[in-house]
Amino acid sequence: LPLEERLASYVVEGTKEGLIPDLDEALTKYSPLEIINGPLMKGMEEVGRLFNNNELIVAEVLQSAEVMKASVAYLEPFMEKNETSVKGKIILATVKGDVHDIGKNLVEIILSNNGYQIINLGIKVPPEQLIEAYRAEKADAIGLSGLLVKSAQQMVVTAQDLRNAGIDVPILVGGAALTRKFTKTRIAPEYDGLVLYAKDAMDGLDIANKLMD
């Protein structure tokens, strides 16, 4: 198989055998993010498709996720870092009820490599925990990730709770459950701050940079 297909197949098969040498080879041709967003994401999309068709079970999807995580961890030191002064502090969380964290953690890597201090609250984060963290950290923005359809609804609830707690910092939302339609009007028409959708981690960085300008 060509290199790109081999990379995708490690994710689909959930195997790490041969992965590192192939990642090294890929690094001679592509940037770390191109490898992640290209062949590795392609593998993850295939995993999603197979899972949807009942051709994979959760345990197998978990192994695929392990391969993706190991790849991102291996590639991270090769990513471009902009050693600027701290641009801002951002709280990141996967919303309540949702365990998917690969995308959120990628957002953390990209933002922290580009001058942001990140408070990563992890997965299944209830609004109360976000409110507490915001009060303790005085962050410049809150980033919410969600991959399940119900996570979009959870974001609506979260934005309402933040508003009721008197918080109005910009909220950045992302994750496969969302689309561009998830703008402020869909998520939180009455939220006093901005609500912005990022399609991927780089888009998240662009938005954060615009916000902090």
Kind of pairing, strands 141-145 and 171-174?
parallel
Find tokens 């580009």 and name the residue.
Answer: 114
Residue 98 catalytic? yes
Residue 9 catalytic? no
**Given 9, 98, 101, 145, which residue is catalytic?**
98
Instruction: Find the binder of ligand B1M among 149, 168, 181, 206 (CB under 6 A).
Output: 149
**Given 151, 161, 206, 213, which residue is catalytic?**
151
Per-position DSSP letters for 108-153, written without gaps between them:
HHHHHTTTEEEEE--SSB-HHHHHHHHHHH--SEEEEE--SHHHHH
Cα 189 to Cα 57: distance, rounded to the nearest angstrom: 38
Residue 151 catalytic? yes
Per rule CB under 6 A, is residue 102 in the interface with ligand B1M? Answer: yes
For ligand B1M, the closer of residues 115 and 175 by Cβ is 175
Burial of 157 (0-12, 13-18, 19+ CB in 10 A): middle
Instruction: Find the binder of ligand B1M among 39, 75, 100, 155 (CB under 6 A).
Output: 100
Instruction: Find the binder of ligand B1M among 98, 139, 170, 191 (CB under 6 A).
Output: 98
Q: Which residue is nearest to ligand B1M (CB)?
A: 103
Per rule CB under 6 A, is residue 198 in the interface with ligand B1M? Answer: yes
Three-state DSSP class for residue 171? strand
* Binding residues among 26-65 for ligand B1M as defined by CB under 6 A: 44-45, 47-48, 51-52, 58, 61-62, 64-65
Instruction: Find the binder of ligand B1M among 32, 127, 143, 170 (CB under 6 A).
Output: 143
Find tokens 């959120």 and name the residue.
Answer: 104
Binders of ligand B1M: how many residues, by CB under 6 A?
Answer: 36
Q: List strand residue ranges (DSSP E) for the chain, in order.
A: 88-94, 116-120, 141-145, 171-174, 195-197
Q: How far is the CB of 175 from ligand B1M (least distance, A)?
A: 4
Cα 170 to Cα 55: distance, rounded to the nearest angstrom: 40
Q: Where in the sequence numbering do the catalytic residues fall?
A: 98, 100, 151
